[in-house]
Structure 1
Amino acid sequence: MKTLQKLCTTLLLIVWVITASLAQEAATAARTPDVPYVPTRQTVVDAMLILAKVTKNDVVYDLGCGDGRIVITAAKQYGATGTGIDINPERIKEANQNAQAAKVTDKVKFEQADLFETDFSKASVVTLYLLPSVNLKLRPILLKQLKPGSRIVSHAFNMGDWEPEQKIEVDGSTIYYWTVPEKK
């Protein structure tokens, strides 16, 4: 009888773990993206990485990574490692294919996740091509998670009243640059 009870308890636990896992996966997949997918032109990608002064020692996170071109370029051109985060499973699939084609799968990875629920504290550089409202919502998370001295580069959109240290125009696009300040 005790063996049967243990077996039932174990089976219930397994069912609960699987159900919770599937529910989490469904919740992530079901949420609509915050921004439409619009790829960043390669000239702008290159300028973003130059502005951030990316090196082989950097860990680059691209929030809303789309097809993965920013972290792939950081890995290919600078030897950096990187992680792309996107909520859309099709974009993650495409980014992984692009990483394989570029032969940088040892340096980059892509995660289907909600960027508001993601830990990117390992990043030394964060790149964004989101919308102003999303940048504003993300700003306190970036300032909380990132170490002082980490760099943030945004294509096209600023961060409200947080003045960028640099702002450049490239190929008809504006690029904004900030450094995470010391914590008070």
Structure 2
Amino acid sequence: MMTTFYILILAFFLLLAAIVIVPVFFGAPWHPLSDENIERIIIFADLQPGEKFYDLGSGDGRVLIAATRDKCAYGIGVEIDPIKVWLSRCFVKAAELSKKIKIHRGNIYDFDVSEADVIYLYLTRQALDRLFPEILDRVKPSARIVCYRFCIRNMEPAKVNEDKNLFLYRVNKGRSVNEYS
């Protein structure tokens, strides 16, 4: 009886580690956003109907759901954690947006972003430093990159919100962002 209890406790802590600790090594810990912050992000990104909104490190998928529901956009989420992928797919299905949102289990560093109109990133500075040079050559000429909380180092954003926690970068011909290449 006690052995079963200890196994359940161990399983709980292993699951907790998988959800909280492991993602830190792949880009960012999971930090769910408030509905208010999600709305600010969607407005700041200036999403237009029909655009493709990519969320790299999509967590529970709530930002994608808001983007597609509120702005009639299409959403692509990329998440490495299988538990969050399952959770976000459940949320998408519950929101009845399965035809407009696709959640992929994968690594953000090698995911194809060539069709993205807007790429949303809520990653650590280290993850942004690693990801940015890799996606610069793969994005379409008119893409916009929106970063929450952390800006891309050594780059001047095209737009910053008044709280200074949202940064928008405009890609120029897929080779530079705000004159950075």
**For the superposition of Structure 1 and Structure 2, which TM-score range results when normalised by the shorter chain?**
0.7 to 0.9
Match of 2:131 in 1: 138
TM-score (norm 1): 0.78
Identity over the aligned pairs, expressed in percent?
28
Match of 2:155 in 1: 162
Matched, 1:106 2:117: no
For residues 53-72 of structure 1, what are the structure 2 equivalents within 5 Å? 53-72=46-65
1-side partners of 2:103 and 2:45: how far apart?
A: 21
TM-score (norm 2): 0.79
> What are the ranges of 5 or more consecutive residues in structure 1 without an aligned counterpart?
1-29
The partner residue of 2:39 within 32, 36, 46 is 46
Letter in 2 for 1:106: K
Letter in 2 for 1:141: E
**DSSP-derived class of the 1:180 partner:** strand
The partner residue of 1:174 within 157, 160, 165 is 165
- Per-residue deviation at 1:55? 1.6
Task: Tell me which structure has the larger Cα radius of gyration.
Answer: 1
Letter in 2 for 1:49: I
- Per-residue deviation at 1:33? 3.1
Letter in 1 for 2:172: P
The partner residue of 1:148 within 141, 161, 168 is 141
2-side partners of 1:125 and 1:107: how far apart?
A: 15
Q: 1:142-170: per-residue Cα shift (whole Å, max 9, x none)?
A: 21111122111111001001111111145
Letter in 2 for 1:57: G
Letter in 2 for 1:115: I
> What are the ranges of 5 or more consecutive residues in structure 2 without an aligned counterpart?
1-21, 177-181
The partner residue of 2:72 within 79, 83, 87 is 79
Contact 1:33 1:88 in 2 (8 A): no
- Per-residue deviation at 1:119? 0.7
Match of 1:35 in 2: 28
**DSSP-derived class of the 2:109 partner:** helix
Q: Which runs of 4+ in 1 moved over 2 A?
A: 30-34
